[in-house]
Amino acid sequence: MEKHKSDRVILAVCGADRVKFLQGLVTNDVTGAQTGLLYAALLTPQGKYLADFFLFSEGDSILIDVDSGLADGLVARLNMYRLRADVRIEKTDIQVRRATTTPAPTGALPDPRHPALGWRQYGPQMTNADSTDWDAIHVAHLIPQSGIELIPNDTFILEVGFERLNGVDFSKGCYVGQEVTARMKHKTELKKGLARVNIGGPAPVGAEITADGKPAGRLFTQSGNQGIAYLRFERATGDMDAQGTRVTRCKG
């Protein structure tokens, strides 16, 4: 399920207002893109996920590395907010290579979400020759993926671990969806979210999970006998079912 490099699009945000423009929109502090790779998301005004991406500065541009299925929608949304700002948003021919099993080459940037995700390198005609089992890493470290656990107009980023993955900054000031995200942050406890589960066998991605016949969540990325599930925690206390497959929440 892990995306191949060709399933990523690199956008360039150019113009004198590029930092100020993005700073008022995305979940993380854009100034961090000047010193390394930054993970962030764009949300709806209601605080729901629209797209997640990496940002980094290169010359007079901020580059955005985004899933190809989300790229056109992200460009359209950014242009909607552009108004009179001195900003241009363009697609580029830059490609991305990523790996964990080979040493990072010169110019590669560490993935900011988790050390287990290795490095990303940007340039022309990049090829991936890495043997990493990406789904195993995502499951082991509970890392959601674009278009799988991260669902546009549905997902709330704190329920899928964005704070743990260094994708949100609570001191940077306002951005689209900030009020809802801040309220969720200050709740005493989230009632729903991602969890690692044991599974008795494979089940379709997105399969509904039930507990005692009641909806308890959905099953997503799977590797071996474990998977990532989005759960209603109060119902995920014992055996559950995902289209005939036994599911139990992992301890710890």
- 135 in the same domain as 195: no
- 204 in the same domain as 124: no
Q: Does the residue 56 lie in any domain?
A: yes
Q: How would residue 220 be classed by pLDDT, with cut points 50, 70 and 90?
A: very high
Q: How many domains is the chain built from?
A: 2
For residue 252, what pLDDT is reported?
67
- 204 in the same domain as 90: no
Q: Does the residue 234 lie in any domain?
A: yes
Q: How would residue 194 be classed by pLDDT, with cut points 50, 70 and 90?
A: very high
- 136 in the same domain as 17: yes
Q: Does the residue 81 lie in any domain?
A: yes
Q: How would residue 2 be classed by pLDDT, with cut points 50, 70 and 90?
A: very low
For residue 72, what pLDDT is reported?
97
Burial group, residue 191, by CB count within 10 angstroms (0-12, 13-18, 19+): exposed
| Average pLDDT value for residue range 106-110 | 94
| Average pLDDT value for residue range 133-142 | 96
| Average pLDDT value for residue range 131-135 | 92
Q: Does the residue 168 lie in any domain?
A: no
Position 5 pLDDT exceeds 60: no
CATH number reported for the structural domain that contains residue 95 in this entry: 3.30.70.1400
CATH number reported for the structural domain that contains residue 249 in this entry: 2.40.30.110
Percent of the chain at pLDDT > 70 equals 96
List strands edge to edge, sheet with 49-58.
38-43, 49-58, 61-67, 8-14, 88-91
- 130 in the same domain as 35: yes
Q: Does the residue 13 lie in any domain?
A: yes
